[in-house]
């Protein structure tokens, strides 16, 4: 199973926030889960880094996670619909199949 982690969870994690989502994320990383992000999420995370050295360090750290490259527009629409359905008890974390579709 691949865990696609939303920007808000990454930012909460890096800010040291203790939320159900950041705890779930920490547990997943500790258990060596297949944690992933997309280019859009990577961009959003890196935009919040004020220094060049912090940017370089964070970019290197994030490179250890899987990068998903969803292509068709309907991938994004289906993801939003599934998140809205409350099918996932942890907002911001979505189970993804190995082919990157929802």
The full set of domains in the chain, from first to last, is 2-96 (3.40.50.1010)
Query: Residue 100 pLDDT more than 60?
Result: no
- Whether pTM > 0.75 for this model: the answer is no
pLDDT of residue 53: 94
In percent, the amount of the chain with pLDDT more than 70 equals: 72
Query: Residue 86 pLDDT more than 60?
Result: no
pLDDT of residue 63: 94
**Measured CA angle at 101 (ends 68, 70), to 5 deg:** 40
Are 48 and 85 a contacting pair, CB within 8 Å? Answer: no
């Amino acid at each position: 199973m691949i865990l696609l982690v939303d920007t808000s969870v990454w930012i909460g994690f890096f800010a040291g926030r203790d939320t159900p989502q950041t705890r779930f994320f920490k547990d997943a990383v500790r258990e060596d889960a297949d944690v992933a992000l997309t280019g859009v999420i990577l961009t959003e995370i890196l935009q919040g880094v004020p220094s060049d050295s912090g940017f370089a360090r964070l970019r290197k750290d994030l490179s250890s996670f899987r990068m998903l490259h969803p292509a068709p527009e309907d991938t994004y629409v289906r993801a939003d619909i599934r998140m809205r359905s409350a099918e996932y008890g942890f907002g911001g974390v979505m189970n993804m199949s190995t082919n990157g579709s929802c």
